[in-house]
Amino acid sequence: MGKKWLPQWDTKWMLILTAVASLVVFVVLPMLYLVYKSFIINGTLDIHHYQTVYSKVVNWNALSNTLKISLYSTILAVVISFPLAWLIGRTDLPWKGFFRTLFVATYMIPPYVGAIAWIQLLNPRVGYVNKFLVENLHLAEAPFNIYSMTGMVWCLTLFYAPFAFITISRAMEKMDPTLEEASRVSGASPLRTLWNVTIPLMYPSILAGGILVFIGVASAFGTPSIVGMPANIEVLTTRIVTYIYMGDTKGIQEATALAVSLMLAANGLLYLSMFGLGKKEYVTIGGKSTRPNLVELGKWKWPAFSIVMGYGAISVFLPIGSVLVTSLIKSMSRPVTWDNLTLATWKAALENTQYTEPLMNSFILAIAAATIATIIGIFIAYLLMKTKAKGRKIPDALATLGGATPGIVIALALIITFSGNFGLNLYSTMTILVVGYIVKYLTMSVRTISASLSQVHPSLEEAALNSGASWLQSLRDIMWPLIRPSVVAGWFLVFMPSFYELTMSIILYGSQTKTIGVLLYELQTYADPQDASVLAVIILLIVLVGNLALRKVSRGQIGI
């Protein structure tokens, strides 16, 4: 026995160590190096870069814009999401299942696609909505201008609100319904119960969801750039990209200082939400699973339904409809009628190698990133859930750190670290894009896989080892069949965002490695809305198919 034991132990730990080592090289090293480069000049501690950066009004404006936009979007997103989550989770609102799927699925629409759509709708000159209102209400000028601070907050809120909706909905589903019932028998009306019990109990999740929105909005590049730049509204992320695009050392240095500021803000907030609030997470003892007692809306049922439906139409159907119509329209200056629709734009786009190549690239990159992230994720999740090793939580924390770090910061860190400095020159390669995606989305696969590993009782594996199986055999015969659905789900959860990733790609791509996100961004900036719409629809279709596949493999357990 003793002899057989040792080699098994070795395979297991060598594989785990390899996974952890890759994290250290690709997450820890670049981040530390980024911070190091921002503070150390010629070998001594020097805050000169920060002084330079923050002596410029334009950067201060960018910082204050980032804070303002993030704050407004966060508040709006929470104010919208809480009632939605409550109506869908706790009342007899009609079509609840449909609405849940709808609002959760919005999470999967790339926000910049939403921005492109809203520009088509609310562009002051040719926006569909503006034109419609001007013509029908005989207005002198367009009522809306998307190219504004309000426009940015509008787009960002609609497409980052799902973060808050998902967090709050989950907490609401997990909450013991008898806590609310106890309040009802105590004499409190449904509204009073909502105010005294439900909202206070949801408070940690509301805050956690809000922080996710805040970080998401503050880290976003696509929307602020597409919507804000034409109005000369700059935020931190767009400043960083501008500095990097300068291409010289000075530009990179100032980008570094801004990026570290953004990273500290985002990760600091996340740290706060995890450790400051984590302790306040209310654990309730589960009784038998009573069906939650649904609040009867009574005469408010249909008004509430109309409002939720209206929000769904505005936040999801209108923008999707807009890109779809734009991709099919013959002449943008003529009204939308059947005669004015054509597949010509689609045909031309699909035959254009300038479009198909980035599409292929994104496929290859996303498949590579998803596969590698899944393999690393299995071992990190195993280390976390199934071993007692000291520090087993650290790799998981590193994956979370990667996920919480703004994409732009990761991209910049990878560029300055792997441009030959550590014997590794990945500049402009496919590899550096794959690494970026893995760093950002690894946490998706780790989280999904460890959730299902935690359901596998340790005795199942012990019984396999006891029956004479090696560790790898037990992994293959026992663990793998049990966790397979979540592994596949984790794969899709990395594949989809990697496929349409923009923020990192815009910095990391080279002439041979352009991605579909970058292409779409260029088309939008160079004002080719029709081709941009074709690509946007393609992205939406792939996301839809991916999401359906995800639901199928996880039997509806994981779907986003």
Partner 1 sequence: MADVKITSVTKKFGDVFAVNNFNALIKDGEFVSILGPSGCGKTTMLRMIAGFERATEGEIAIGDQIVSKSDAGIFVPPEKRHIGMVFQSYAVWPHMNVFDNVAYPLKIQKVPADKLKERTEQALDLVHLAEYAARFPNQLSGGQQQRVALARALVAEPGLLLLDEPLSNLDAKLRESMRFEIKELQKKLGITVVYVTHDQAEAMAMSDRIIVMHKGVIQQVDEPIRVYEHPANPIVADFIGLVNFLEGEAAAGQIQFKALGCGIPANVSFEGPARVAVRPEHIRISKTDGYLRGKLVNKFYLGDSTDCRVLVGDTELRVIDRGAAFAEYSDGEDVFLSFGHVMAFPK
Q: Which is nearer to partner 1, 138 or 291 (CB)?
A: 291
Is there binding between residue 183 and partner 1 (CB under 8 A)?
yes
Residue 37, token pair as written in the block: 């480069």
Q: Strands 44-45, 40-41: parallel, antiparallel or unpaired by DSSP?
A: antiparallel
Among 13, 39, 50, 203, binds partner 1 (CB under 8 A): 203
How many residues sit close enough to partner 1 to count as binding (CB under 8 A)? Answer: 28
For the CB of residue 187, give the shortest distance to partner 1 in the complex, in Å: 4
Pick the stretch among 126-134, 279-287, 438-446, 530-538 that binds partner 1 (CB under 8 A): 279-287
201 binds partner 1 (CB under 8 A): yes
Nearer to partner 1 among residue 150 and residue 284 (C-beta): 284
Answer yes or no whether residue 174 interacts with partner 1 by CB under 8 A: no
CB of 334 to partner 1, least distance (A): 54
Q: What part of residues 461-500 is at the interface with partner 1 (CB under 8 A)?
A: none
Ramachandran quadrant class, 95 (left: phi over 0; alpha: psi -120 to 50; beta: rest) = left
Give the separation between CA 2 and CA 161, rounded to whole angstroms: 56
Q: Which of 452, 539, 554, 551 is nearest to 498 (CA)?
A: 539
Using CB under 8 A as the binding rule, whether residue 276 contacts partner 1 is answered as no
**Positive or negative, the Cα torsion across 278, 284, 285, 290?**
negative
Q: Specify whether the CB–CB gap between 260 and 236 falls below 8 A.
A: no
Interface with partner 1, residue 125, by CB under 8 A: no
d(CA 504, CA 84): 32
Residue among 11 and 189 whose Cβ is closer to partner 1: 189
Give residue for tokens 């943008």. Answer: 332
State the minimum distance, in angstroms, from the CB of residue 175 to partner 1.
10
Half-sphere exposure in the Cβ direction for 422 (13 Å, CA):
12
- Tokens 């409550």, located at residue: 86
Question: Amino acid letter at 487?
Answer: V
552 binds partner 1 (CB under 8 A): no
User: How many DSSP H helices and E strands does the chain contain?
Assistant: 27, 2
Could you give the CA distance from residue 214 to residue 67 in angstroms, rounded to a whole number?
Answer: 9
* SS3 state at 297: coil
Task: Tell which one of 51, 64, 150, 290 touches partner 1 (CB under 8 A).
Answer: 290
Residue 288 binds partner 1, judged by CB under 8 A = yes
Among 58, 182, 332, 472, binds partner 1 (CB under 8 A): 182
From its phi and psi, is residue 447 left (phi > 0), alpha (psi between -120 and 50) or beta?
A: alpha
Min. distance of Cβ 172 from partner 1 in angstroms?
Answer: 15
Burial (CB count <10 Å: 0-12, 13-18, 19+), residue 349: buried
Instruction: Give the nearest distance from C-beta 185 to partner 1 in angstroms.
Output: 4
247 binds partner 1 (CB under 8 A): no
* Given 1, 6, 57, 283, the residue binding partner 1 (CB under 8 A): 283
285 in contact with partner 1 (CB under 8 A)? yes
- The span from the CA of 97 to the CA of 160, in Å, is 21
Using rule CB under 8 A, residue 284 touches partner 1: yes
Q: Whole-number minimum distance, CB 459 to partner 1, in Å? A: 24
What are the tokens at 530?
């029709």
Residue 293 is a binding residue for partner 1 (CB under 8 A): yes
The verdict on 200 binding partner 1 (CB under 8 A) reads yes
Nearer to partner 1, 201 or 560 (CB): 201
Nearest in space to 110 (alpha carbons), one of 66, 149, 156, 170: 156
Residue nearer to partner 1 on the CB measure, 62 or 93: 93
Residue 181 has which token pair? 């019932």
Nearer to partner 1, 182 or 264 (CB): 182
> Which of 368, 365, 445, 431 has the alpha carbon at shortest distance from 403?
445
Minimum distance, C-beta of residue 285 to partner 1, in the bound complex (Å): 5
- Closest CB 191 distance from partner 1, rounded Å: 11
Q: Which amino acid is at 476?
A: R
Q: Catalog residues that contact partner 1 under the rule CB under 8 A.
A: 176, 178-179, 181-190, 192, 196-197, 200-201, 203, 282-288, 290, 293
